[in-house]
Amino acid sequence: MPVEFGIVLPRVPEKDHNISGYMADLDILLLHLAPHIRGLWVTDHFMRNEAPVHECWTIVTTLAARYHEYQVGPIVLGQSYRNPALTAKMGATLQHLSGGRFVMGIGAGWKEDEYRAYGYEFPRTGIRIEQLEDTLEIMTRLWNEDGPVSYHGKHYHVENAYCVPRPDPAPPIMVGGGGEKTMMLAARFADWWSLPDSPVEVYADRLAVLRKHCHTIERDDDDLRKTWFGRLAVAKTEAEAEALSDGKWTRHNSLCGDPAAVIAQIRAFIELGVDYFMIQVQGQHAPDTIALLTNEVFPAFG
């Protein structure tokens, strides 16, 4: 499978607080990057202190309607934020309306301050993973069974539920996360797997766990697409690349450096089996950044 790249959109507009500025920024970015980009991805968060943040599902739906040539999806939904059956219905509808370009990224949820600020309970990790299991079970059955579907899990249930018209094909499910129990759920339910902000050594370790779980259930792990999600900072020197995020993102937790270094980092992940990189570009409107990406980094991968 060829190596592909997707852009993770920033949660806030860079110039102002309104949605028109947010979309205008993206239009400009895609004018330059379109030949190299397969998908558009949005993180699922409600707030970042006082900074303006747009809601994920609304943005994903807008992207599907506005840009007809790209895959779209959340990277990744917090399962707690939306009823699982309704989420399945929303995903089915978006799959129909987008002509099959939707990918359902979903995880257990983790951002405690956000949960509490918006009035959600924040149970311990094990409970949230059990909730994710229920969500994946409900979603998979509603998308693939004629119905009615009844399911009584530990935390969520449906009774005589239909999801008509069913999506055909069902959206790929991308499970995000690297914990042991989450990896088992990825082996059981996912079509894609995503691990955020990880250096290659951590990714290799987690991938070995995923492959172990696939082996346990007699699944060929080659059927499960491996993706990487994180920041990319490229500049003429490593110091300049790190300065794009004020030193927060470095080669130890992102793709960072001059073009040759970034290319080498990407190739190290490819050797592990990764073939899709969902990147949040640092300095994404800087002419030098765009030039290095389009002239050196992306062409290195076809």
Query: Which amino acid is located at 30 in the chain?
Result: L
List C-alpha distances in Å: 266 to 3, 227, 236.
Answer: 10, 11, 17
Q: How far apart are CA 133 and CA 234, in angstroms?
A: 38
The phi, psi pair for 15, rounded to 5°, reads -100, -35
Q: How far apart are CA 269 and CA 253, in angstroms?
A: 13
Eight-class DSSP state of 295: I
CB atoms within 10 A of CB 236: 11
Sign of CA dihedral 45, 12, 176, 181: negative
> What is the rounded average pLDDT of the residues 260-274?
98
Confidence of residue 16 (pLDDT cuts 50, 70, 90): low
Angle, nearest 10°, between helix axes 125-144 and 180-189? 0
Q: Which amino acid is at 298?
A: F
pLDDT beyond 90 at 290: yes
Residue 147 — left, alpha, or beta (φ > 0 → left; ψ -120 to 50 → alpha)?
left
Identity at 58, one-letter amino acid code: T
* Ordered DSSP codes for 235-278: -SSHHHHHHTTTTSS-TTTSEEESHHHHHHHHHHHHHHTEEEEE
| Span 114-168, pLDDT tens digits | 999 999 999 999 999 999 999 999 999 999 999 999 999 999 999 999 999 999 9
Residue 180 backbone dihedrals phi, psi, to 5 degrees:
-55, -50
Residue 153 CA to residue 226 CA, distance in Å, equals 28
Specify the CATH architecture of the domain 4-301: Alpha-Beta Barrel (3.20)
* AA identity, residue 218: E
pTM of the model: 0.96
pLDDT of residue 10: 79
- Return the H-helix or E-strand segment holding 213: helix 200-216
Residues 163-190: tens digit of each pLDDT: 999 999 999 999 999 999 999 999 999 9
Helix axis angle, 200-216 relative to 180-189, nearest 10°? 60
Give the pLDDT band (50/70/90) at residue 20: confident
Query: Which DSSP category does 48 fall into?
Result: B
pLDDT per position as a tens digit, 92-103:
999 999 999 999
Q: Compare 102 and 287 and report the one with higher pLDDT.
A: 102
Distance CA 24, CA 166 (A): 34
Which DSSP state fits 283?
T
Compute how many other C-beta atoms are within 10 angstroms of the C-beta atom of residue 211. 19
How much is the pLDDT for 17?
60
